[in-house]
Chains A and B, each alone.
Chain A
Amino acid sequence: GQSLEQPSEVTAVEGAIVQINCTYQTSGFYGLSWYQQHDGGAPTFLSYNALDGLEETGRFSSFLSRSDSYGYLLLQELQMKDSASYFCAVRNTGGFKTIFGAGTRLFVKA
């Protein structure tokens, strides 16, 4: 089967750094993506890792270890507007099916 696990909630303080982990189990693997979704809004793409290592985009970074079936999203210099749900997603080999995790709700406190 295919599954992704990520924490349901994370709370952090404005200005801090937070890491959201994702472990996955799939029949094949093309890459790990991260999406952000504010309440009542649509998911928006943040980052994608196909190979092992760290990808950096501004305040956000994403890491992948294919041997450990593990990745994380790192958010630096947290702002109140970062309060949202964050989803990891994997696309399996040979198909176009993208499987999403249940999401991590991030609360940023002042």
Chain B
Amino acid sequence: NAGVTQTPKFRVLKTGQSMTLLCAQDMNHEYMYWYRQDPGMGLRLIHYSVGEGTTAKGEVPDGYNVSRLKKQNFLLGLESAAPSQTSVYFCASSSISGTTSYEQYFGPGTRLTVT
């Protein structure tokens, strides 16, 4: 059981470039989330998904797009990277039922620098 995995682990982009971050989970979770974490700050929700084919905006969605074509994968896209998007990006997933739906499992993170 790999849990939640993220690809890539590190990336450096130039302003204006685009990229896609891939998140995969093998726990058959319905819910998946993308967060960003800036130094000294908590996690801020970018987008989330409550099931295959559905996505919704979180707290800070501008400049990002997402897709959930398969239940196990959740993709985060940056169309035109900006230095303000330099951050650590975490993907998380959780189950649909009962109190375990509040337990989010996080991937190892992707450290993105935009120059």
Residues of A within 8 A of B (CB): 4, 30-31, 33, 35, 41-45, 48, 50, 87, 89, 91, 96-103
Contacts and interface: CB of A to CB of B under 8 A. Distances in A.
A88 to B, nearest CB: 9
6 contacts: A43-B92, A87-B42, A99-B45, A100-B43, A100-B44, A102-B42
Contact of A91 (B43, B102, B106): B102
A91 B58 CA distance: 12
A42 B107 contact: yes
Contacts of B44: 100
A96 B50 contact: yes
A103 B90 contact: no
Given A99-B59, A102-B41, A42 B106 contact: yes
Contact of A43 (B41, B58, B90): B90
B105 interface: yes
Contacts, number: 57
B31 interface: yes
A24 B74 CA distance: 30
Contacts of B35: 100
Contact of A97 (B41, B42, B58, B106): B58
B62 interface: no
Contacts of B41: 102-103
Contacts of A96: 31, 33, 48, 50, 56
B99 interface: yes
B104 A102 contact: no
A58 B45 CA distance: 30
B102 A87 contact: no
A43 B106 contact: yes
Nearest to A4: B42
B77 interface: no
Contacts of A50: 99, 102
Interface centre among B40, B43, B50, B108 (most CB of A within 10 A): B43
A97 B45 contact: yes
Contacts of B109: 42
Interface centre among B31, B102, B103 (most CB of A within 10 A): B102
